[in-house]
Amino acid sequence: MSGVLHRHPRLRLGLLLGPPMLWLGVAYLGALAALFITALWTADGFTGNIQREWTLDNFKDVFSLEVYRTITIRTLLTAVAVTVIDAALAFPVALYMAKVASPRAQRLLVIAILTPLWASYLVKAYAWRGMFSADGPIAWLADPFGLSTPGYGLVATVVTLAYLWLPYMILPMYAGLERLPNSLLEASADLGAGARVTLRRVVLPVLFPAVVAGSIFTFSLTLGDYIAVKIVGGTNQMLGNVIYDNVLTGNNLPFAAAVSTIPVVIMLVYLAAVRRTGALDNL
């Protein structure tokens, strides 16, 4: 057995690749394809049983009804806002970690940024529910200034999601900046470039793939989120809520399947667009 494998590297490759490909290539991709097919079927409005008759009605509804257009745009804008906020916040933190902090402080900062990643997602969303509550710390801080907490709504949702995904942006940025040798920055300064020019022509090209890698997470995670919205978003709905409600309470799996093609298409276009930047190797 071992000898046969030794003489046939292709057989070795096949045996290694077979099981993971059966799982991801056949089962998982198959499930995604089946989802698309289900979107072309209908559900019996009364029992929720799926009827295998081909129709484009689900897609027509998704694209023509005002509600779903509003929700899609809201979800997309939230994802963009979360990504921009995270990138803007992560840059100074990553720059400080990589280029200013001492090696010891650097190690501690990495741990400090990593630790909350291990804390439960649900717990963190829940923590912000406490922060934004009517008699929580934000209301307490804002009160002396005559302000009040923004309460549960879109603002709270964006803040909470930006908070949740921030480490996914800081870590690739930090890794990118860390790899950038100081001598390169000094050379740029010696050759007469000011801070702004160096930032644009030396730092940014290194940072770009890192931001893209981070944004894949911030974007995808925001597009698919519906739990954080339920916890801090008040009555606001995202695409994820529409999908969830149609599957579990609305009993309309085909329609939910049609809605879920929206984030899939967005993410596939995004992944295809960023493949050239080499960001996928940084994940």
Partner 1 sequence: MTLSPLTRRLLALITGVALLVVYAPLMLVLLNSFNTSQSFAWPPTGLTTRWWQAAWESQGARAAIWTSVEVAVLATAIALVLGTMAALALQRFAFFGRDFVSLLIILPIALPGVVTGIALANAFTTMIGIELGFFTLVVSHATFCIVTVFNNAVARLRRLGGNLEEASMDLGAGTFRTFFKITLPMLRSSLLAGGLLAFALSFDEIIVTTFTVGQGIQTLPIWIYQNLFRPNQAPVVNVVAAALIVLSVVPIWIAQRLAGTDESVAAAH
Return the residue of 68, 165, 174, 226 that touches partner 1, per CB under 8 A.
226
119-134: b or e for each residue (b if 16 or more CB lie within 10 Å)? Answer: eeeeebbebbeebbee
Give the residue, chosen from 73, 142, 204, 248, that forms a contact with partner 1 under the rule CB under 8 A: 248
Among 77, 100, 147, 204, binds partner 1 (CB under 8 A): 100
Determine which residue in the list 61, 74, 80, 99 makes contact with partner 1, applying CB under 8 A.
99
Whether residue 114 contacts residue 108, with contact meaning beta carbons closer than 8 Å, is answered with no
233 is a contact residue toward partner 1 (CB under 8 A): no
Closest separation in Å from C-beta 283 to partner 1? 6
Interactions with partner 1, residue window 148-167 (CB under 8 A): 163, 166
Give, as ranges, the residues between 3 and 22 that touch partner 1 (CB under 8 A). 3, 5-6, 9, 12-13, 16-17, 19-21
| 154 CB-near residues (< 8 Å, 6+ apart) | 74, 78, 233, 236
Q: What is the DSSP letter of 147?
A: -
**Residue 206 found at the interface with partner 1 (CB under 8 A):** no
Vertex 207: Cα angle to 200 and 228 (nearest 5) = 125
* 243 interacts with partner 1 by CB under 8 A: yes
> Residue 269 interacts with partner 1 (CB under 8 A)?
no
Dihedral of alpha carbons 178, 180, 181, 185, sign: negative
- With residues binned 3-state (H G I as helix, E B as strand, rest as coil), the percentages for the chain, rounded to 5, are 80, 0, 20
Nearest distance from C-beta of residue 66 to partner 1, angstroms = 22
Q: Is 93 in the site for partner 1 (CB under 8 A)?
A: yes
Q: Is 27 in the site for partner 1 (CB under 8 A)?
A: yes
Q: Which of 265, 264, 245 is nearest to 255 (CA)?
A: 245
Query: Scanning residues 163 to 192, which ones bind partner 1 (CB under 8 A)?
Result: 163, 166, 185-186, 188-189
Nearest Cα to 214, choosing from 171, 151, 266?
171
Q: Give the span between the Cα atoms of 84 and 73, in whole angstroms.
A: 16
Query: Which residue among 210, 212, 231, 279 contacts partner 1 (CB under 8 A)?
Result: 231
Q: Which of residues 110-149 bind partner 1 (CB under 8 A)?
A: 111-116, 118-124, 126-131, 133, 135-137, 139-140
